[in-house]
Each structure stands twice: as C-alpha cells, then as structure tokens.
Amino acid sequence: MTIQPEELHTMDSHLEKASDTGKLYLIPAPLIPYSVENWQPARLRMSIPSANLLLLERIDHFIVESEHNAQRLLSRLLSPERMEHIGFSILNEHSSEADIAAPLALLQSGRDCAIFPDAGMPCIADPGAALVAEAHRHSIPVIPVGTDSSIILGLAASGLDGQHFRFLGYLPVDSAKMESLLASEAKSAIADRAARIFIETPYRNERTLEVCKKILPDSLTMVFAANLGTFSPCILAMPLPEWKRQKHLIPQVPAVFCFGIPAQLETMHDRRKVELAKRRLPRKK
C-alpha cells in the first residue's frame, strides 16, 4: 500500500526531507559473475530493473567498494560521454570513518549519490551501512531500490549493523509477551550487535511503537520504514531517546521495524581483521 500525501503530512518535521540536501540511493549491482560473455551490455541490462537503469543514467557520483570494478560494470551500461562525468568515492572494508566525509559533504551540498556495491544489495553485511547511518543523523533522505523484499529494503535503509541480523516475524499480540520478547531481544542486540527486524499488522503500528519506546533501552536505535519499494519511502531512524522526546504519528500501513546498533566502519574493519587472522591460523591435524 502506498502512503497517501495527507498521511505524510501528519508526521512531525523529522520526516520532512530538507530540499537543500541530495538523496542517497541504495542500488543493487548484478550478481552475474564477470566474464566477457556474461557481461555483454544487452545481457547485463536484462538483469537490472529499468527504474534502476534510469537512476544509473542520472546519478553522477557513486560510493563503491572498488573503483576499478565499478568502472568495469558501469562502462558496459553507460555511454563513454556519460562515464566522463561520473565521480567515485571508495567505501570498503579498509575504509575509516574519515572516508565518509567526502560523500556526506556532496549529499549535504544537494548532490544525489548512490551506494553501488560490487555485487548484490548495498548495506547488507556491507560497509555502506555506516554512510547510511550518518545520512540519517543529518536528515538526508535514504532511498533503497531494486528488490521486492521489504525486509531487505528496510534493513538496507536502516543504517544498522547488517553483518548479522535476526528476523522476528510478527510480535506477540499479548502485551506482556510482546514486552518480554522485546526486552530479551534488546539485551541480545546490545551483546551481539545483530539488527533485529520485525513486521506488524498496520492498525497496530502506533501501539507497537509505544511499546518499543517503553521497553527498548536508550543505547539502541530504532527504525520505522514504510512505503518501501517506491521512490518516496517513509523512513524514520533515530536513537531511542529521540523517539521518546517526540510524538510521532506513524501511518497505519505495512511497515518494517528495526532496532539495533548503528553501523560503524571501525567495527567492520576489526571484524575483517579477525576473520583474516583466523584464516592464517594453522589447521588442526
């Protein structure tokens, strides 16, 4: 269901995206492994939704894991003249928080940008999640595209640590059981840093939000994501104290709720170093 304009106007000013900022699009890249035959332009174009191709034609700055890989792919989809006007920022497992500054400045100046990974959906076990978290802190619109899974779109646009996540399905209808489950999962989310995701029957959205504000600790961030799969999603991502300070009138439409720890590049870099160290250990005979 699409959120109606009058419903959007009932939300507080946090939802009103600043007209002087750009938008951060999350565009998935084809999963087709590279080969001369596989990456023929016609074949590649058939694997990419037409709406995504239009975005690739329009956006002139991409946040990528590898400029070489991004150029190799985009040069098969875009004209040579178009490629001359495209800029890149690198955000990968070797990046630090300082590498977020350049794309963030472009977004704040009004330029639209896109996170475009080597393959698959951005921000799921991907360094781009840290930029999304920072975009939310600066009220920059985040627009995930490219899949019909609201759960994946919601997680990608949340800015939470998507290296590990847990889908809770629908929460219990019984208030006591809901509060007990949320308290338990919140404690686990702090310990394991895995994002928690759940969905709710639309008419219970506001009730569920109030329970979350009551139960979830202030150290967590909560996300409400609706109208996913469109170019005008409704995504609220805030630390719990900010949720508790304000009255938010969320619409009674299908939505995804997430809570957890915002993504940080240092965390992902440290994780990568641990994984590499483990691989270097001698195998037990």
Q: Are 30 and 73 in contact (CB under 8 A)?
A: yes
- Whether residue 170 lies inside any domain: the answer is yes
Distance CA 256, CA 201 (A): 10
Of 95, 114, 146, the residue that ends a domain is 146
Say if residue 33 is in the same domain as residue 91: yes
Q: Are 25 and 55 in contact (CB under 8 A)?
A: yes
- Whether residue 283 lies inside any domain: the answer is no
Of 146, 163, 189, the residue that ends a domain is 146
Say if residue 95 is in the same domain as residue 207: no
- Whether residue 275 lies inside any domain: the answer is no
Return the pLDDT at 127.
Answer: 82
Structure tokens at 218: 């202030």
Distance CA 11, CA 123 (A): 27
- Whether residue 8 lies inside any domain: the answer is no
Whether the full predicted model's pTM is greater than 0.75, yes or no, is yes
Distance CA 134, CA 112 (A): 15
pLDDT in tens, the chain (285 residues): 333 334 333 333 444 444 589 999 999 998 888 888 888 999 889 889 999 999 999 999 999 999 999 999 999 999 999 999 999 999 998 988 889 999 999 999 999 999 999 988 999 887 899 999 999 999 999 999 987 789 999 999 999 988 889 999 999 999 999 999 999 999 999 999 999 999 999 999 999 999 999 999 999 999 999 999 888 899 999 999 999 998 878 888 999 999 999 998 865 555 555 455 545 555 544
Question: Residue 235 maps to which CATH number?
Answer: 3.30.950.10
Say if residue 255 is in the same domain as residue 209: yes
Return the pLDDT at 7.
Answer: 39
Q: Measured on CA atoms in the order 156, 94, 53, 120, is the torsion positive or negative?
A: negative
Return the pLDDT at 265.
Answer: 82
- Whether residue 224 lies inside any domain: the answer is yes
Q: Are 156 and 144 in contact (CB under 8 A)?
A: yes
Q: What's the full length of the chain, in residues?
A: 285
Owner of token pair 């890989």 = 69
Burial of 4 (C-beta count, 10 Å sphere; 0-12/13-18/19+): exposed
Say if residue 140 is in the same domain as residue 210: no
Distance CA 234, CA 142 (A): 9
Of 126, 146, 166, the residue that ends a domain is 146
> Looking at the 3D structure of the chain, how many domains does it have?
2
Say if residue 73 is in the same domain as residue 187: no
Q: Are 167 and 155 in contact (CB under 8 A)?
A: no
- Whether residue 279 lies inside any domain: the answer is no
Question: Residue 32 maps to which CATH number?
Answer: 3.40.1010.10
Residue 188's domain spans which residues? 149-263
Amino acid at 173: V
Say if residue 112 is in the same domain as residue 165: no
